[in-house]
């Protein structure tokens, strides 16, 4: 050990602490929620991403174009393509999000985003280890709430996850320090402001939708400072919602209980710091029918971004199977986007059609291979289902 190594590491840490204290100050002065009903024009930015991203994003755009046809024609809504968020561009400028792309994103009111590849150490494509575009976008646009619905009617599962998106174990994920060849240290950050807004969002959702249960997931018994702060904040916020019951679970046992038939349907709204939320939402998506079926909302007060839960599935592209990728995750994301910007009827219709097409009727099935239909065919099947005059009746018939 050399004093030089210790000094370098502590200087690095000191800079991170300064950055985080500044972030806390920014959070204290964050702007109010966007009021979509007061906008002359709503701009939806559409980024295709990498791997299977372009194929499944295109399928979602076909559906959005159909549902928003008159709004687009009247100029009330614009779907604006943003092409530069590709791994090739990001590697070229060695940035998680190139500056010009970030500027374009900030001109939109909401974003539909295909999965983006995050290079990993030693990847076979030779990409350098740059930061995740997702992590960066969530931070740059302050998209603090990652909201993911999971429904499995036959198991009586109706979950809504509120995963914290801007802090925890990921926000400084690429800012760890190699103190020496033998010692690496990463950092995890939790603040009062960051915890309060996500926990409050979860309780607000429960309260507005007459749901009587919020579950808070941490590992506060072991990770005492940061997880302890999150749990303490939950206790404080919960007092303002006496009509909503709440409980807390540790992440390890929670992963087990989500697959326990005796317990799983008792969970309703679930909130967790970043890493734990990432793990349990992937697990939940699998229970729903696989990663290809899950959409996610990333919501902040000013901006919002809607995406699939899964990644760019490079393996599928390497094997030439991208056109068979399941687009329902992106189409689900589009339904959540419509709801967020105020097109609640269109969103509800799309949700009904998604339920019918991928859970009940299943006239067409996407298998990820040529044994099933293509993503584009699936999108057209969903549109035909939306068009059917007895959509609601049909859906009710399956309940």
For binding to ligand NAD (CB under 6 A), which residues are involved? 52, 56, 115-118, 134, 291-292, 307, 310-316, 325-326, 329, 368
Question: Of 16 and 279, which has the nearer Cβ to ligand NAD?
Answer: 279
What is the Cα–Cα distance from 136 to 113, expressed in whole angstroms?
Answer: 13
To ligand NAD, the closest distance from the beta carbon of 310 in angstroms equals: 3
The DSSP bridge pattern shows strands 245-250 and 213-218 to be parallel
Q: Please give the residue whose beta carbon sits closest to ligand NAD in the complex.
A: 311
What is the Cα–Cα distance from 37 to 169, expressed in whole angstroms?
Answer: 36
What is the Cα–Cα distance from 44 to 40, expressed in whole angstroms?
Answer: 13
To ligand NAD, the closest distance from the beta carbon of 393 in angstroms equals: 30
Instruction: Give 66-80 as a DSSP string.
Output: HHTHHHHHHTSEEEE
Question: Of 84 and 368, which has the nearer Cβ to ligand NAD?
Answer: 368
Question: Of 45 and 292, which has the nearer Cβ to ligand NAD?
Answer: 292
Question: Of 234 and 350, which has the nearer Cβ to ligand NAD?
Answer: 350
To ligand NAD, the closest distance from the beta carbon of 189 in angstroms equals: 21
Question: Of 191 and 298, which has the nearer Cβ to ligand NAD?
Answer: 298
CA angle 55, 56, 61 (to 5 degrees): 100
Question: Of 319 and 392, which has the nearer Cβ to ligand NAD?
Answer: 319
To ligand NAD, the closest distance from the beta carbon of 240 in angstroms equals: 32
To ligand NAD, the closest distance from the beta carbon of 206 in angstroms equals: 26
What is the Cα–Cα distance from 346 to 324, expressed in whole angstroms?
Answer: 26
CA angle 184, 189, 191 (to 5 degrees): 165
| Paired tokens of 126 | 């030779």
Nearest to 333 by CA among 345, 347, 322, 346: 347
To ligand NAD, the closest distance from the beta carbon of 144 in angstroms equals: 16
Assign 290 to helix, strand or coil.
coil
Question: Of 60 and 108, which has the nearer Cβ to ligand NAD?
Answer: 60
Question: Of 48 and 271, which has the nearer Cβ to ligand NAD?
Answer: 48
To ligand NAD, the closest distance from the beta carbon of 131 in angstroms equals: 11
Question: How would you classify residue 167: left for phi > 0, otherwise alpha for psi between -120 and 50, otherwise beta?
Answer: beta
Half-sphere exposure in the Cβ direction for 370 (13 Å, CA): 3
To ligand NAD, the closest distance from the beta carbon of 329 in angstroms equals: 5
| Residue 124 CB partners (closer than 8 Å, separation 6+) | none
């Amino acid at each position: 050990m050399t004093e030089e190594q210790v000094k370098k590491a502590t200087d690095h840490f000191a800079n991170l602490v300064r950055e985080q204290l500044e972030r806390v100050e920014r959070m204290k002065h964050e702007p109010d929620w966007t009021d979509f009903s007061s906008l002359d024009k709503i701009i939806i930015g559409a980024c295709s991403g990498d791997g299977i991203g372009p194929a499944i994003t295109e399928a979602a755009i076909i559906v959005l174009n159909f549902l928003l046809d008159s709004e687009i024609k009247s100029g009330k809504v614009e779907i604006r393509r943003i092409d530069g968020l590709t791994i090739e561009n990001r590697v070229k400028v060695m940035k998680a999000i190139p500056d010009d792309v970030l500027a374009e994103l900030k001109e939109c009111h909401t974003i539909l985003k295909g999965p983006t590849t995050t290079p990993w150490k030693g990847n076979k494509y030779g990409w350098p280890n740059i930061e995740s575009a997702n992590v960066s976008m969530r931070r740059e646009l302050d998209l603090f709430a990652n909201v993911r619905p999971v429904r499995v009617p036959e198991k009586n599962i109706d979950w809504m996850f509120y995963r914290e998106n801007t802090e925890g174990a990921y926000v400084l994920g690429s800012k760890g320090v190699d103190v020496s060849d033998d010692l690496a240290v990463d950092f995890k950050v939790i603040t009062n402001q960051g915890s309060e807004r996500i926990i409050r969002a979860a309780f607000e959702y429960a309260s507005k939708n007459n749901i009587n249960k919020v579950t808070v997931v941490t590992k506060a018994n072991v990770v005492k400072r940061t997880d302890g702060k999150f749990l303490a904040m939950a206790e404080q916020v919960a007092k303002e919602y006496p009509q909503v019951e709440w409980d807390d679970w540790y992440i390890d046992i929670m992963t087990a209980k989500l697959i326990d038939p005796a317990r799983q349907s008792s969970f309703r709204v679930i909130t967790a710091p970043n890493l734990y939320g990432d793990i349990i939402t992937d697990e939940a998506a699998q229970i729903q029918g696989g990663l290809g079926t899950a959409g996610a909302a990333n919501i902040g007060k000013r901006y919002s971004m809607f995406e699939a839960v899964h990644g760019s599935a490079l393996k599928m592209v390497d094997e030439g199977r991208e056109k068979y990728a399941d687009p329902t995750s992106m189409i689900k994301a589009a339904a959540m986007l419509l709801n967020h910007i105020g097109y609640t009827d269109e969103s509800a219709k799309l949700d009904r059609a998604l339920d019918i097409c991928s859970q009940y009727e299943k006239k067409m099935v996407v298998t990820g291979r040529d044994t099933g239909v293509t993503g584009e065919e699936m999108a057209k099947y969903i549109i035909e289902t939306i068009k059917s005059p007895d959509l609601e009746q049909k859906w009710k018939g399956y309940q």
